[in-house]
Structure 1
Amino acid sequence: MRPSKIVIIGAGSVSFGPGSLRDAIQMKELKDSELVLVDLNEENLDIVTRLAKRMNEEAGTGLKISSTTNREEALPEADFVIISIAVKRDELWKKDWEIPRKYGIRQVLGENGGPGGLSHALRNIPLILDICADMERLCPNALLINFSNPESRIIMAVSKYTSIKAVGLCHGVYMGRDRVAELLGRKSEDIDVKAAGVNHLLWLLDIRDKNTGEDLYPALRKAEAELGESHDPLTRAMFRRFGYWPAPSDDHIGEYLSYAYEKTGLHGYDFKWAADYREQLWTRLKSLARGEGDLGDLLTKPSGEVAFTIIRAIVENRNEYVHAVNIPNNGCIENLPRDAVVEVPALVSGFGIQGLTMGRLPAGIAALCEMQVSVQRLAVEAAVKGDRQAALQALLVDPVVDSMDAAEKTLDELLSVHKDYLPRFS
């Protein structure tokens, strides 16, 4: 594999940074490649950089590792730019959750759909378009690999408003496959799935035994029917009514459905658990970065993401099958608009990322997905142009919003509370 330059923006994230390092360090084909870690938080970046260098040395991968808080220093001549960024993620997300609830809007999670998903898009899309503008100057041929949410809206913005090639990645398809494997009493690696839809509203259209080719949907229907009612109530309700298993999980698919709260409740994200988990993980990472303790599975267990699989496939011109990528539709799903950002399987090689043609989605599933495409368009326009009218329309089109008055009040308060992070609305 020829040496490549890979820039990771958001490397100081407690989960994303170490996860990316796992895959980079374990991929021996990256020998002599350059890995540049970028983050605005100097303390976190220093910890992750020292950890990366320790992992690289002990694994003998032979990467050239450096770091900077200035992405313009990192980007020149990059081949790949991996992004996972957010501003005060949990702090601002909590407001995205609380404000709509105050006005009676019943959103399940508030991250990618509903008012919270819109607010998240308004903050994150301009940040990523600014990175793309730098890429257009400094590394115009680089592939942008995005992990930031809301995935579909970000990729639509990049596709529509920049010249940068981009793909969005999410492990939701594997979450769906793993849950199905659990219900069937099988190993995940023995099951093949083919899925299509939009991000976080993905449908397993085909489930088979990887070794024999046996259709496993009959067995899944039987196993699901025998399961207690407390397990996956929304996923299973949709499965029974639409005929296919949705992924990744109740909370995520529930962001796009007006009736989701009937099955999931309105508990929302567990911010305390997340904060405690991050604190514990940082404690361990700091210790490892100081050279204390054993690196353990950081050198042996992959993260479960496919960014570096895609990088290797492109550089080595492999024919690598990837279960799910988020890309502009362009005919991959026949009965969704061409400009929609869809999640489909893909073939990756030196020719880039080619989404597979998945035919037509069943009519009911296509209708659910197309509704989200309409919200995608309006949210992107609002984020790019700082357009309050488009933002309001995005809410009024969103199935989670059932009150015009509540939509107006929610939007006004979200724009006010987050004004420091929404310069395009100033």
Structure 2
Amino acid sequence: MPRIVFMGAGSVEFTKNLLSDLLSMEFADSATIVLHDIDAERLETATAMARWMVDKLGRGTRIESRTDRRAAVEGSDYVINEIAVGGFNATKTDFDVPARFGVRQTIADTLGIGGIFRALRTIPVMVALGHDLAELAPSSMLINYTNPMSMIPRAVYEGSPFKRVVGVCHSVRDTQARLAGLVGLPVEEVAFQTAGVNHQAFVLRFEHRGENLYRRLDEVIEADPELRRTVRVAVYQAFGHFPTESSEHGSEYLPWFLHRDDQIAEHRIPVGVYLEWSQENLDTYDEAKRALAAGEGVEIEPTSELASEIIHSIETGTPRVLHANLRNGGLITNLPADACVEVPCLVDRAGVQPTRIGDMPAQLAALNRNFLNVGELTLRAALEGRRDHVYHAAMLDPNTAATLSLTEIRQLVDAMIEAHGDLLPAGIR
């Protein structure tokens, strides 16, 4: 009878989607769902929503609510993580301070100066969670959604005794559906192999009944001038394989786009768009709170969230193949063994079983290693309290390095540390 914990349950839209999935599954009546958030008001709203959904669907699911993390995770079978340390205000800082130095970002949660500081805020919390799980629920599985995905699961398995952590992200699934649509085929008829680093994985195999569909994709791109004005297509044409991240997000992991006005215009890159999305999330929360108080409830619609699919496959034995992020350990042989990589995995009662890819094409592995270098230094900075490694990570970050001098990068890092203050590890601030 699974005990499933939602970390960061005050993110009500995410919680609603997960609940819509889990409450539709055959084990729902015997499950316990524990909602945890450090924001008591948001937790109260999420709890009211969960209980309304259980009543609406007539399920026997038990809902618990905890502000204390240790009480929440004790005895858990699954812990689903979607925390945002510092909330909207910290996210705004990640944009506002770099903007003063001329550093432009779009999402700022995966790489770049924003991704570095999001990781520095989050890693101590996740390492502490790993220690809690090792003590209180050693057989549990931690399923992480929080970015930066290449850093957070690795922080848990390197910084704590707890090793049963996987990361999930929609980018591969969405990219595969997008590519199938572009060449006019149902996605279930296309053979894909996709691997790399989260948000910078690549479609290595793209076939239909033995036909290499990249040739057909080239024809589609040649016929569509608007499609050619995207970062994803520019990266595909430069590196020979299609990337899994959206154009707006992918632009900030590379040195060629955001510091140039002509490239922003050519590729229609929406600078700062994540702040708009974050404000929309705040509005969504306010509307959900109002609707619940008025007795109107929320829309219940299963969304096939990856965490719920993993839990379903393990609990029922239903086999699925999906992409997960976990310790490399030789899965991709020309990337570092300790890195967190994204590969296809079989999931069934035996758990999450990754596919060995072997060598990536040399140019893709080289690009991934650039990406991973920033994460390696950020992780070392957080785990060892090394302020100098924060400078090093920012100096090696492609977008930051393409925009600022070494002196300016140090000044930006100092300004970010001052702005985030107590949210950062003690050895850094």
- State the TM-score, normalizing by the size of structure 1: 0.91
Equivalent position to 1:218, from 209, 215, 219: 215
Show the 5 A alignment for 1:22-421.
22-164=20-162, 165-209=164-208, 212=209, 214-229=211-226, 233-261=230-258, 262=263, 263=267, 265=269, 267-280=271-284, 282-284=286-288, 286-288=290-292, 290-292=294-296, 295-296=298-299, 298=300, 300-302=301-303, 304-322=304-322, 324-402=323-401, 403-421=405-423
Check conservation: 1:175, 1:249, Cα contact below 8 A. Answer: no
How many angstroms apart in 1 are the aligned matches of 2:359 and 2:23?
40
Q: How many residues align?
A: 417
CA RMSD of aligned residues (A): 2.2
How far off its partner does 1:406 sit? 1.6
SS in 2 for 1:401: helix
SS in 2 for 1:194: strand
How many angstroms apart in 1 are the aligned matches of 2:34 and 2:408?
45
How many angstroms apart in 1 are the aligned matches of 2:391 and 2:243?
29
Check conservation: 2:382, 2:425, Cα contact below 8 A. Answer: no
Check conservation: 1:38, 1:69, Cα contact below 8 A. Answer: yes
- State the TM-score, normalizing by the size of structure 2: 0.91
Please list the CA deviations of residues 351-409 of structure 1 after superposition, one character each: whole Å capped at 9, or x if unmatched.
32221011221111110001122222110011122210111111122222322112100
- Provide closer, same or farther for how the CA distance between residues 118 and 385 of structure 1 changes in structure 2, counting only shifts above 3 A: same
Check conservation: 1:152, 1:199, Cα contact below 8 A. Answer: yes
How far off its partner does 1:128 sit? 1.1
Check conservation: 2:228, 2:234, Cα contact below 8 A. Answer: no
- Provide closer, same or farther for how the CA distance between residues 311 and 361 of structure 1 changes in structure 2, counting only shifts above 3 A: same
Check conservation: 1:125, 1:157, Cα contact below 8 A. Answer: yes
Check conservation: 2:247, 2:269, Cα contact below 8 A. Answer: no
Q: Which moved more, 1:267-276 or 1:194-203?
A: 267-276
SS in 2 for 1:418: helix
Check conservation: 1:82, 1:145, Cα contact below 8 A. Answer: yes
How many angstroms apart in 1 are the aligned matches of 2:241 and 2:232?
10
Q: Which amino acid aligns with 1:237?
A: A
How many angstroms apart in 1 are the aligned matches of 2:194 and 2:257?
21
How far off its partner does 1:9 sit? 0.9
Check conservation: 1:104, 1:406, Cα contact below 8 A. Answer: no
Check conservation: 1:30, 1:63, Cα contact below 8 A. Answer: yes
Q: Which runs of 5+ in 2 are unaligned?
A: none
SS in 1 for 2:23: helix
Check conservation: 1:106, 1:266, Cα contact below 8 A. Answer: no
Q: Which runs of 5+ in 1 are unaligned?
A: none
How many angstroms apart in 2 are the aligned matches of 1:270 and 1:347?
33
Q: Which amino acid aligns with 2:116?
A: L
How many angstroms apart in 1 are the aligned matches of 2:374 and 2:280?
34
- Provide closer, same or farther for how the CA distance between residues 276 and 399 of structure 1 changes in structure 2, counting only shifts above 3 A: closer
Check conservation: 1:14, 1:278, Cα contact below 8 A. Answer: no
SS in 2 for 1:48: helix
How far off its partner does 1:200 sit? 0.7
Check conservation: 1:27, 1:61, Cα contact below 8 A. Answer: no
SS in 2 for 1:135: helix
Check conservation: 1:108, 1:260, Cα contact below 8 A. Answer: no
